Amino acid sequence: MLSLQLSQTASRAAMRCLPGDGQKRRQCAILLATVAIVTTLVASTPARAADPAAGKALSESCTGCHGGDGISETPKTPSLAGQPDEFTQWQLIYFRSGARKDQAMQPIAESLEANDIRNLGAYFASLPPPAAPSAQDPRVDAGAKLAAEHRCPFCHGEHYEGNKAVARLAGQREDYLYKALSDFKSGARVGSGVASMADVVYSLQDDDLKLLAHYMAIQP
């Protein structure tokens, strides 16, 4: 199944790799190289059904940053509880291949086998997502308007619950969401849709990113 998804992602990436600015071409090149490497690895690895219990055992090394039961209390560090299975798998694959950079995550991901990644994805997906903060302020309406204008629900779901390889945003740490949006805008991070997130945030100012982060973080 993941091999098919990787092939589909490669096809979508190829369609987007048309003449454009240098940043988009670099993003395409990075993702296509990653997909090529990972497809080879997956094709050579017998697939097994995911084991959430094994994922829970592996996750003990994650709690220092991502929190017990996948609920982060660390600044700029995401909660993993309730994230879609495929999304978590993809991020670990990106870290392992070097397509996504993080000094803490890369050595951890490099130590994981394919079945470890499947098990971790299944475990975190099985956990209840974090509860959204109850406090709201006038920024909510502005954030909702931006999200609608830029079609955020189209990929992330009507309630920002995420789906398959697309992240859950509802209830995520606000500081982390702002960091993620900023990284997509700067080109420091490339998503599985290659240029999709870069396209979304390209025209947004820093204050807009903060509004979106706040709005997503308080969604239940």
Q: Is the pLDDT of residue 6 over 90?
A: no
93-122 tens-digit pLDDT = 999 999 999 999 999 999 999 999 999 999
Tell me 76's DSSP state. Answer: T
First to last CA, the chain: 31
Specify the CATH number for 139-217; select among 3.40.50.170, 1.10.760.10, 3.30.70.120, 1.10.340.30: 1.10.760.10
Question: Span 186-211, mean pLDDT?
Answer: 86
| Architecture in CATH for domain 49-129 | Orthogonal Bundle (1.10)
69-86 tens-digit pLDDT = 999 999 999 999 999 999
What's the half-sphere exposure (Cβ side, CA atoms, 13 Å) at 161?
6
Question: When comparing pLDDT for 10 and 60, which is higher?
Answer: 60
Task: Categorize the per-residue pLDDT at 137 as very low, low, confident or very high, splitting at 50, 70 and 90.
Answer: confident
Task: Categorize the per-residue pLDDT at 12 as very low, low, confident or very high, splitting at 50, 70 and 90.
Answer: very low
Cβ count within 10 A of residue 14: 14
Backbone angles phi, psi at 163, to 5 degrees: -165, 130
d(CA 170, CA 65): 20
Q: What is the average pLDDT score of the chain?
A: 85
Question: Span 11-20, mean pLDDT?
Answer: 48
60-70 tens-digit pLDDT = 999 999 999 99
**Residue 198 pLDDT:** 87
Q: For the chain, give me the number of helices (H) and strands (E)?
A: 12, 0
Minimum mean pLDDT range among 28-32, 90-94, 195-199? 28-32
d(CA 130, CA 176): 14
Cα–Cα separations (whole angstroms), residue 2 to 82, 85, 89, 164, 206: 20, 11, 10, 11, 36
Cα–Cα separations (whole angstroms), residue 70 to 6, 56, 125, 206: 26, 10, 10, 28
Evaluate whether 49-129 and 139-217 have a shared fold: yes
Q: What is the pTM of this model?
A: 0.80
138-197 tens-digit pLDDT = 899 999 999 999 999 999 999 999 999 999 999 999 999 999 999 999 989 887 765 589
* Domain map (residue ranges) of the chain: 1-47, 49-129, 139-217
